Structure formats: C-alpha cells, structure tokens
Amino acid sequence: MKKIINDVAVLIPCIEEDKNLSFLLPKIKKVLHNYRYEIIVIGSKFKKDNSELISKNNLVNFIRRKDNDNYGQAIRAGLKVSKSKKIIVMDADGSHDPNFLVNLLNFSNSYDLVIASRYVEGGNTENNFFLIFLSKILNICYSILLNISIKDISNSFRCYDAKIIKNLKLNCNHFDILEEILFKIIKNNKSVKIIELPFSFKKRKYGKSKRNLFLAIVYFVTLIKIKFS
C-alpha cells in the first residue's frame, strides 16, 4: 500500500494548556479542512493536565516528551514523528491565530520557510512591555552577531519545508531552539528562500507564560555558543 504523505503537520508543544487547547484544536481543524493534515500535540513527560484527553476527544495525535519537559525536547519529538511535506509550529496558548495557517501555507508553495513576523511593517504584538523589550533586544543581537537578516527570529509560528528542517541536528533545550533552527537552515542552505509575513501576535487566552528572565540568560549563552562553534 502506498504511503500517504500529508500536506502539513502542525506541531503544538504544550504544558498545562488545557483550556487553550479546548478551543484551539477545533479551530485548527476547521481552518485546515481542505488539506491533508496531521496535528501533533506534544505534552509533558509525565501527566500534568488533561491535554491528552482533550487531544483524543478532538481526534488529533498526542505524544509526550521523553527526556524532560523542555521546549526543545518537544520540537525534536514532534519533528521525529511528523509525516508531512510542510511543518508548522504554533503555540498552544492562543497567541497564534489559526486563521493565519492558510497564509503560511499559501506562501510555502514559493518559499522554503515562511515566518509570521511581529516586526515587519503591518505586524504587531499584544505582549507586555518587558516581553517586547526582551524580544527586540534578542532579535537585534542574534541578527547582527549571526548575520541573520530576519526581523523576527523568536516567534515560533513558522512554516518549514520538511526536507530542510528534519535534516538538522538540533541541540538547544529551550526556546532558543528557534534561533538555532534559523541559523542552521541558513548556514546549510545557501539558496534557501525565506519570507516574513506581517502577523498580529495576541495575548495568551489562559494561564501563565513559560518565558521569563532565566530564558533571556539562556538565549545569550546560546548566542555565544553558536557564534563561536
């Protein structure tokens, strides 16, 4: 029997995002009804919430992190099991509008990587001042020191050609894996086509953000490692 390859896989790392998943998953399925798709929710190593039950009730794939509960572990786990031509990563907290999935997919026909960008003309964010300040500082430092000509390097909402991301060896454990992915894609694919689409980043619906000052330190340590590796 011929193996069916889906058009797109949507990877959703989550920990304690029950309320958000309950409204997010049905919306994603509705938006993607014209595509062959797989939705992969990546939960915590051990049960902390009802994400697995909510995923099963919505008939989507649920897997758990194996080694730890870090974000990087979730991304690697999702990439390993996905079986699609395109791979989209999106947050579970409601900050990424499912309707924008179609925009990402439409441009993915012409580009290897499509980024939902808060910082190109027409984009914006509802995050608080601290998170905006931290994000912009990180974006400036990474862009200059790693020579990445992308305005929004830290928003996870992206659509990748599966061939260029699944071949990467990814080592970062936290949200810094997003910058690692960009750097290695650009380094390994000199002719890669990338576009940033203006995107409105919303406040999370329920719960607390997993990003904090500690992660800012991790980002800068990662920057030094990548720069001098």
CATH number, domain with residue 111: 3.90.550.10
With a cut of 90, say whether residue 23 has pLDDT above it.
Answer: yes
Domain membership flag for residue 111:
yes
Residue type, 145: L
pLDDT at 225 (0 to 100): 72
Domain membership flag for residue 1:
no
- The answer to whether 75 touches 87, Cβ cutoff 8 Å, is no
Q: Which residues pair with 89 in a beta bridge?
A: 11, 158
pLDDT at 137 (0 to 100): 82
Tally the domains of the chain.
1
Lowest mean pLDDT among 5-14, 139-148, 199-208, 218-227: 218-227
Categorise residue 207: left if φ over 0, alpha if ψ from -120 to 50, beta otherwise.
left
pTM over 0.85: yes
With a cut of 60, say whether residue 4 has pLDDT above it.
Answer: no
**Domain region containing 152:** 6-228
Domain membership flag for residue 29:
yes
